[in-house]
């Protein structure tokens, strides 16, 4: 038998080396998986009192924003709650607040930094609170796609549109190329405007919002849409497909809303006769088609607020929000659309210990976890955001 003794060599710390589980870190791909300070224990019974005291000590110097998908333990300390766009606007409307503590995810804090004054600092209590959808569109990949469109001669007629749920880099790319940012509330208006500027739209990064808006709200055929996969050569599309397409959808999606399936809808209709199915447009096309109502987070909240007592609702959006709405309306039957419980894991990273730590650091004169977008990127991203604000 051959002697098979071998020696194991640790992978070198190069871009291509794989990290061994639990050893080392890759700062380029991981941001803030460790808290840079001493986090209070989650079991500390004084957390609420500590957060209250620290916030009171800071007074008007701090403004706390809470996204609808945040935990209740955090939301109770928010000065304002809302979706990503409303929160960015609220941050911009508070030029006197020195510190904007953003209880949400990374791309939202970036947008707040872009829209606030240079004197203000935007803080994300846990730097690992990213967004898997935003991370699916990386600037280098998007630029490669755009260069391909230029080679094909279609870039001039293509308007890039990015969902708010994208990095500042992508918003900057869109601003540089005369496009627009959109939210789930104004996606149709953004697409209407874009089709006045060109004959095609390059929609980033959420394929579902792009497809659902184009097909269900604008009367496009599914065949008018093609899916650009950044992991395949030329996006996995032929030149002819790209030339014929009206909507070039980036292959990105929300891992939370992507969990709802047609089976979830059929199953709840069987279990709860007369149930109203209400979903977010980040859900898959077949789910949105099978639903009774579709709309943004703010639309969902208004629909549930206005629903008659005794009505039943199965809601396809993030669980923290659905739970909160169910508790706020005990006279209505509000349930999660899927049988499997699923929070947005990155939204959930902001918990009370991280908020307490952030506020107490500020009281002590230290400013942790500041999110800064470089001026060049911010300048172009602002163009795309301003274009959204100017939409008719």
User: Which stretches of the chain bind ligand SF4, using CB under 6 A?
Assistant: 69, 105, 131-133, 165, 254-256, 318, 344, 346-347
Q: CB-wise, 80 or 342, nearer to ligand SF4?
A: 342
Binding residues for iminosuccinate: 67, 84, 163-165, 184, 280-282, 297
Q: How far is the CB of 300 from ligand SF4 (least distance, A)?
A: 13
Q: CB-wise, 47 or 321, nearer to ligand SF4?
A: 321
Per-residue exposure over 301-312, b if at least 16 CB sit within 10 Å of its own CB, e if not: bebbeebeeeeb
Q: How far is the CB of 344 from ligand SF4 (least distance, A)?
A: 3
Q: CB-wise, 184 or 377, nearer to ligand SF4?
A: 184
Q: CB-wise, 145 or 321, nearer to ligand SF4?
A: 321
Binding residues: 67, 84, 131, 163-165, 184, 254, 280-282, 297, 344
Helix 47-58 / helix 352-363 crossing angle, nearest 10 deg: 40
Q: How far is the CB of 65 from ligand SF4 (least distance, A)?
A: 14
Q: CB-wise, 227 or 256, nearer to ligand SF4?
A: 256
CA dihedral 80, 332, 289, 298 (to 10 degrees): -10
- State how far the Cα of 83 lies from the Cα of 227, in Å rounded to an integer: 27
**DSSP conformational letter for 151:** H
β-strands 158-163, 180-182 pairing: parallel
Q: CB-wise, 163 or 193, nearer to ligand SF4?
A: 163
Instruction: Give rounded-to-5 percent helix, strand, coil for the chain.
Output: 45, 15, 40
Per-residue exposure over 100-112, b if at least 16 CB sit within 10 Å of its own CB, e if not: bbbbbbbbbbbbb
Q: How far is the CB of 107 from ligand SF4 (least distance, A)?
A: 8
Q: CB-wise, 280 or 332, nearer to ligand SF4?
A: 280
Q: How far is the CB of 376 from ligand SF4 (least distance, A)?
A: 25
Strands lying side by side in the sheet with 276-279: 293-294, 276-279, 312-316, 333-336
Q: CB-wise, 133 or 383, nearer to ligand SF4?
A: 133
Cβ atoms of 290 and 267 closer than 8 Å:
no
Q: How far is the CB of 22 from ligand SF4 (least distance, A)?
A: 25
Q: How far is the CB of 305 from ligand SF4 (least distance, A)?
A: 21
Cβ atoms of 264 and 217 closer than 8 Å:
no
CA dihedral 278, 280, 283, 284 (to 10 degrees): 70
- State how far the Cα of 212 lies from the Cα of 220, in Å rounded to an integer: 10
User: Closest Cα partner for 112 from 131, 85, 133, 139?
Assistant: 85
Q: How far is the CB of 132 from ligand SF4 (least distance, A)?
A: 5
- State how far the Cα of 389 lies from the Cα of 385, in Å rounded to an integer: 6
Binding residues for [4Fe-4S] cluster: 131, 254, 344
How many C-beta atoms lie closer than 10 Å to residue 7's C-beta? 4
Count of residues in the chain: 392
């Amino acid at each position: 038998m051959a002697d098979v003794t071998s020696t194991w060599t640790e992978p070198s710390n190069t871009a291509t080396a794989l990290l061994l589980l639990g050893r080392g870190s890759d700062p380029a791909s991981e941001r803030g998986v460790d808290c840079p300070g001493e986090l209070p224990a989650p079991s500390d019974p004084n957390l609420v009192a500590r957060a209250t005291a620290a916030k009171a000590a800071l007074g008007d110097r701090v403004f706390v924003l809470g996204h609808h998908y945040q935990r209740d333990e955090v939301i109770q300390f928010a000065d304002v709650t809302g979706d990503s766009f409303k929160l960015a606007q609220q941050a911009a409307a508070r030029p006197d607040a020195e510190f904007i503590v953003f209880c949400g995810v990374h791309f939202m804090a970036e947008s707040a930094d872009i829209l606030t004054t240079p004197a203000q600092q935007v803080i994300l209590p846990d730097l690992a609170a990213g967004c898997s959808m935003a991370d699916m569109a990386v600037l280098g990949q998007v630029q490669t796609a755009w260069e391909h469109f230029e080679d094909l001669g279609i870039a001039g007629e293509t308007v890039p549109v990015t969902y708010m749920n994208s990095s500042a880099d992508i918003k900057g790319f869109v601003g540089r190329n005369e496009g627009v940012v959109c939210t789930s509330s104004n996606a149709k208006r953004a697409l209407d405007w874009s089709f006045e500027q060109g004959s095609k739209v390059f929609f980033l990064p959420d394929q579902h919002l792009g497809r659902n808006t184009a097909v269900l709200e604008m009367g496009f055929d599914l065949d008018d849409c093609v899916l650009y996969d950044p992991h395949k050569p030329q996006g996995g599309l032929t030149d002819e497909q790209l030339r014929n397409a009206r909507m070039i959808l980036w292959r990105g999606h929300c891992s939370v809303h992507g969990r709802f399936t047609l089976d979830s809808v059929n199953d709840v209709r069987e279990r709860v006769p007369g149930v109203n199915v209400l979903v977010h447009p980040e859900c898959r096309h077949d789910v949105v088609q099978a639903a009774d109502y579709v709309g943004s987070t703010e639309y969902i909240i208004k629909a549930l607020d206005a629903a008659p007592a005794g009505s039943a609702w199965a809601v396809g959006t993030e669980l923290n929000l659905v739970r909160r709405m169910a508790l706020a309306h005990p006279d209505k039957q509000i349930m999660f659309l899927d049988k499997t419980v699923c929070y947005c894991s990155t939204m959930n990273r902001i918990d009370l210990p991280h908020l307490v730590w952030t506020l107490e650091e500020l009281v002590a004169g230290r400013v942790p976890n500041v999110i800064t977008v470089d001026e060049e990127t911010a300048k172009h991203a602002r163009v795309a955001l301003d274009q959204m604000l100017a939409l008719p």
